[in-house]
Copies of this chain bind each other. A is one copy, B any other.
C-alpha cells in the first residue's frame, strides 16, 4: 500500500512552500507586484528560479498563495455585536491592505480558503445580529465596497503624511495654469489648514456607512 501523504525519502528540502510565499510577500510589499518575478523570489530564498516550481505550481499559484496569506491577516468577527464585528473586520482589512499595497485589485478575484472563511464569518456575524440572508449580503457588500474603494484611493495618493500632503498641494497649485482647476485650487489652499487629516477619514466614512446600515437593519429586526 502506498503511503497517502508525507515524504518517503528524498533530499531534504532547503526551502518550503511557505518560504516561497513569505519571500514573495516581502518582495511585493517592498518593491511592488511588478518586481515579483520567479527570479527575484529565487534569489531571496537562495535558490534558482526553476527550483521554486517544486513547491509552487506556477506564478499564478504564487499570486493565489500570497493573496490568501494577506487575507489570513484579516481579523474575523467573533462573538461581538454585528456592528462591532463588522467594524473590526473593516479596520483590519484596511490595515492589511495598507500593509500589502499590491493586494487591492487582486484580492477579490482570487478567492482562496482564507477568503471563504472570512466571508462566512462576517455573514454569520450579521445574521447573528438579526440580518436576513438578503440584508446580510447587501450590508456586507456595501461595507466591503467602501473598504476596498477607500484603500484603492488611499494607496494611489502621492503622500502618506499631512506634511507631504501640504507639499503636494502647493506643488499642484504651481504646476497648472491658474484658473484651470479652480476647485482643486480651493482644495489645495483650503484643505491643509482646515484640520483635515487623511488618516482619520477611513474611520469617519466607515462610521457613516455603519450608521446607515443600522437604519437599514432596524425595520427587519422588528
Contacts and interface: CB of A to CB of B under 8 A. Distances in A.
A138 B206 CA distance: 12
A53 interface: no
Q: Please give the count of copies of this chain that the complex contains.
A: 2
Given A132-B194, A148-B152, A208-B212, 13 more contacts: A108-B156, A119-B184, A120-B181, A123-B183, A123-B184, A133-B186, A134-B190, A136-B183, A144-B149, A145-B145, A147-B149, A148-B149, A149-B149
Interface in A109-124: 109, 116-117, 119-121, 123-124
A145 B137 contact: no
A47 interface: no
Given A142-B146, A144-B149, A149-B144, A134 B209 contact: no
Interface of A: 104-105, 108-109, 116-117, 119-121, 123-124, 127, 132-134, 136-138, 141-142, 144-150, 152-153, 155-156, 176, 181-184, 186-187, 190-191, 194-196, 201, 204-205, 208-209, 211-213, 216
Contacts of A136: 183, 187
12 contacts: A104-B105, A116-B184, A119-B181, A121-B183, A124-B183, A133-B187, A134-B195, A141-B201, A145-B153, A145-B205, A152-B152, A208-B212
A34 to B, nearest CB: 11
Contacts of A194: 132-134
A79 B67 CA distance: 44
A108 B111 CA distance: 24
Instruction: Return the 5 tightest CB-CB contacts between A and B, nearest first.
Output: A149-B149, A145-B149, A148-B149, A105-B105, A123-B183
